[in-house]
Amino acid sequence: MGIFSRMSTDRRIQEVALEDVFAASVGSACFVLGGGPALRELDFAELERTPVGRMSINLAGTGLVRPHFWTAYDPTQRFSRSTYLDPAVMKFVHRRRAFDLVPETTWKVCECPNLYLFEGDRQRGFSDFLDPRHTAIVDWNDSLVQAIDILYRLGFRTLYLAGCPLRVEPSLALRELAVGRGIAVPEEAGLTEFARCCERGGVRRQELEQLEPVELYHFDERKSLRAALGTDAHYYRIVEYLRLSRGAMARAGLRLVSVTPGSRLNAYFPYLDPREAMRESRFACGDPAGERTLGRYSGVQERLPSSAAGMRDFSPPHWPAQTGNVPPLKENGAAGKVQPPARGESALRAGLLAEIERSRAADVLVEEIG
């Protein structure tokens, strides 16, 4: 049983093999875009020139950038029609959302282009967070954790978390109230700790709630103080979940990097300036803005790095069992020669067999010289 699937309106399920389709020998990287206010400070012009994936969570990136991938945990009605119906955005939602209506339309979610469904796993632990034997996506009631698991299954091994402060900052009005009452609050305090300091200093919760709503997002949406306190507590829990899962991520080869200044994650995970993260990706994949085109169609030589001038393909020490297009070896006893291809064998097969023989002969020569 696979992890991802599509579903028709008559509830027929078609499994889709997406595991590791974005894996790369250079180590595929993806920016994970959260909805925090700091996302406004990201250089999106430079990000769009960088050969790196982009996954948005919920409404993150709205009005700033279009993502390559998208996921959400919350109900369908909270999100945008254009996200669901854009065929260029690869979407991942829980199977329970399949028959929701796309906002402002009569289309079902399962009818959306480039959209894939998955089941949730509520029993996932910290030590087996990214165990490859899982056939569902982790369900810890959180979109960010869900995104991390999805991207890992797709083959990404470096995730840069942008706009993910995972803390709610007290508003300017709240901080001014605390200063006016002589209440000392740590500079890095999140909203929950701030409210506790104020209450210990004699400020009632009702007085805090009368001030302007707290800003949680880079887009136009606000929450009451009560709701924001619940969100801050949720963020704290998720940070601790990820901290406790660091060993599992290390064993799985996943590199989680914060590129969000002031994030709670920065105490437990490496932090990089966003521009440095983009430079990493351009170093690994190439810089699209700097690649020349003049003379490309007339060139016939392989373009290798100077240090790779001695490259040569070898046959493996132990040729694997036949799997589809790979021919089995046909050796002639003690002579060790590969037999000529039988009538009807393709030129490709004959060429491959000849290359195997040449490679083995070269190996023997190297051993004799040594």
Residue 45 domain flag: yes
- Residues 161, 179 share a domain: no
Interval 72-81: pLDDT, tens? 999 999 999 9
DSSP state, residue 267: G
187 shares a domain with 141: no
Distance in angstroms (rounded) separating the CA atoms of residues 193 and 189 = 6
Same domain as 70, residue 13: yes
Same domain, residue pair 240 and 200: no
Judged by DSSP in three states, 120 sits in: strand
Residue 40 pLDDT grade (very low, low, confident, very high; cuts 50, 70, 90): very high
In a domain, residue 321? The reply is no
Which residue reads 């609050």 in tokens? 185
Q: Give domain status of residue 299, yes or no.
A: no
Q: Are residues 132 and 247 in the same domain?
A: yes
Q: Cα(63)–Cα(84) distance, rounded to whole angstroms?
A: 16
At which of 269, 288, 307 does a domain end? 288
In a domain, 227, yes or no: no
Query: Above 70 in pLDDT, residue 201?
Result: yes
The answer to whether residue 196 is domain-embedded is yes
What is the pLDDT confidence band of residue 222, given thresholds at 50, 70 and 90?
confident
Task: Please compute the mean of the pLDDT values over residues 330-356 and round it to a whole number.
Answer: 53
Per-residue pLDDT of 111-129, as tens digits, reads 999 999 999 999 999 999 9
> Looking at the structure, do residues 240 and 359 belong to the same domain, yes or no?
no
Are the CB atoms for 28 and 158 separated by under 8 Å?
Answer: yes
Whether 112 and 62 share a structural domain: yes
Rounded-to-5 percentages of helix, strand, coil across the chain: 35, 15, 50
Does the pLDDT at position 336 exceed 50? no
Q: For 261, which DSSP code?
A: T
Q: What is the pTM of this model?
A: 0.84
- Across 113-139, b (16+ Cβ under 10 Å) vs e yields eebbbbebeeebeeebbbeeebebbbb
Q: Identify any residues that bridge with 121 across adjacent strands, giving them in sequence order.
A: 138
Q: Would 37 be classed as within a structural domain?
A: yes
Q: What number is the average pLDDT over the span 179-202?
A: 88
Phi, psi of 93 (to 5 degrees): -135, 155
Rounded distance between C-alpha atoms, residue 73 and residue 211, angstroms = 30
Give domain status of residue 336, yes or no: yes
Would residue 263 count as lying in a domain? yes
Question: Is the pLDDT score of 329 beyond 70?
Answer: no
| Total domains present in the chain | 3
| Tokens describing residue 138 | 């982790």
Q: Do both 159 and 181 map to the same domain?
A: no
Verify that 101 and 20 share a domain, yes or no: yes
The CATH number linked to 260 is 3.90.1480
Same domain as 204, residue 62: no
Let me know whether 241 and 107 are in one domain: yes
Residues 6+ away with beta carbon under 8 Å from 14: 5, 6, 7, 8
Helix ranges, the chain (H): 44-48, 81-85, 143-154, 172-180, 191-200, 205-209, 225-244, 246-252, 274-285, 347-369
| DSSP 8-state code for residue 125 | -
Q: Is the pLDDT of residue 366 over 60?
A: no
- The residue segments making up the domain with residue 205 are 172-213
Residues 146 and 62 in one domain: yes
